[in-house]
Chain A
């Protein structure tokens, strides 16, 4: 079913094109689906905590000031700022599409090495992705509620990328290494960023109550886990689906 004209001129392209378009197609579907659900979960469970924290960040509420502050202030209702929420939905879908692109690319490599990829094994991929991208950096660089004191953003970003890269390699070694030495290297890669330490602020200036900060971090991790399991399952499912279609067409 491949185009004969392209076959005649460039032998490599018919093989390249289905492979790449299969990755792109399944990543778009998986990222959009998982991102949309993740965004809605974030709007319901994380956004109210964030808006609550912003009342302290802006100084509208003051923790340990002269007055006793209610833990249940009047918050802007859900979907009160549709433009802001719409941007959040779009960016969440983009971020998880980016993750799906990388995950499905790696899935195709694993499949080439004889590992089964489908929606069910995708759950494990999602868990590994959550550990590498969310839990590993968040273990020392906890999800930040707005207004929190933090070190220089560039330094934190460098540490974040390095930690995610190390943890990503570690998860791959745990999944596919299969030798004792690979597990030892994986453990070292998981531990090293935290033994070295994440960039920390010089002083604490956060005006937000710890109760809100703790809830925010817990919710961010919880929604992150759900989102990653979804992106893994969808990625595995759509990759399987696209592969079966390609095989059927061949």
Chain B
């Protein structure tokens, strides 16, 4: 019973941090590169162009 619980938790902890990091990274990219709010757009304008993102 104890062994089962340990196996289940180790296989789960492998994927959770990975998914968290991927979602966090995707959030950062979306916010900095793609959200069209005026303040964000203006601040990130040059970078969005230079990085090849669709800008405006």
Q: In the complex, A202→B16 CA distance in Å?
A: 45
Question: Are A20 and B17 in contact (CB-based, < 8 A)?
Answer: yes
What is the total of A-B residue contacts with beta carbons within 8 Å? 130
* Chain B: interface residue total (CB-CB under 8 A): 36
From B9, B21, B55, A153 is in contact (CB under 8 Å) with B55
A143 CB contacts on chain B under 8 angstroms: 49-52
Q: In the complex, A152→B53 CA distance in Å?
A: 13
Q: Helix, strand, loop or mixed for chain B's interface?
A: helix
Tell me the A138-166 residues at the B interface (CB within 8 Å). 138, 141-146, 150, 153, 156-157, 160
Question: Are B21 and A98 in contact (CB-based, < 8 A)?
Answer: no
Tell whether A16 pairs with B13 under 8 Å between CB atoms, given A95-B33, A101-B28, A102-B22: yes
Question: Are A144 and B17 in contact (CB-based, < 8 A)?
Answer: no
Question: Are A101 and B47 in contact (CB-based, < 8 A)?
Answer: no
Question: Are A223 and B50 in contact (CB-based, < 8 A)?
Answer: yes
Tell me the A85-117 residues at the B interface (CB within 8 Å). 87-88, 91-92, 94-95, 97-102, 104-106, 108-109, 112
B-contact bits for A118-152, CB 8 A (1 contact / 0 none)? 00000000000000001001100111111000100
Q: In the complex, A160→B48 CA distance in Å?
A: 13
Closest to B17 in A: A20
Question: Are A20 and B52 in contact (CB-based, < 8 A)?
Answer: no
Tell whether A47 pairs with B50 under 8 Å between CB atoms, given A91-B43, A109-B18, A153-B55: yes
Residue A212, interface by CB 8 Å: no
Question: Are B52 and A87 in contact (CB-based, < 8 A)?
Answer: no
In the complex, what's the smallest C-beta–C-beta distance from A18 to chain B, in angstroms?
9
In the complex, what's the smallest C-beta–C-beta distance from B26 to chain A, in angstroms?
7
**Which of B26, B44, B46 has the most chain A CB atoms closer than 10 A to its own CB?**
B46
Q: How large is the interface on A (under 10, 10 to 19, 20 to 34, 35 or more residues)?
A: 35 or more
A19 CB contacts on chain B under 8 angstroms: 13-14, 17
B10 CB contacts on chain A under 8 angstroms: 15
Question: Are B9 and A12 in contact (CB-based, < 8 A)?
Answer: yes
Question: Are A108 and B18 in contact (CB-based, < 8 A)?
Answer: yes
A-contact bits for B14-56, CB 8 A (1 contact / 0 none)? 1011111110111111001110100000011011011111111
A37 CB contacts on chain B under 8 angstroms: none
Ranked nearest first, the 10 interchain pairs of A and B with the lowest CB-CB distance are A101-B25, A98-B28, A156-B54, A20-B17, A105-B21, A102-B25, A143-B52, A98-B29, A91-B47, A46-B50
The contact sample of 21 A-B pairs, CB cut-off 8 A, is A15-B10, A16-B16, A19-B17, A23-B18, A42-B47, A50-B50, A87-B43, A91-B47, A92-B51, A95-B33, A95-B51, A101-B22, A102-B25, A108-B17, A134-B52, A142-B52, A143-B50, A143-B52, A146-B49, A153-B56, A157-B54
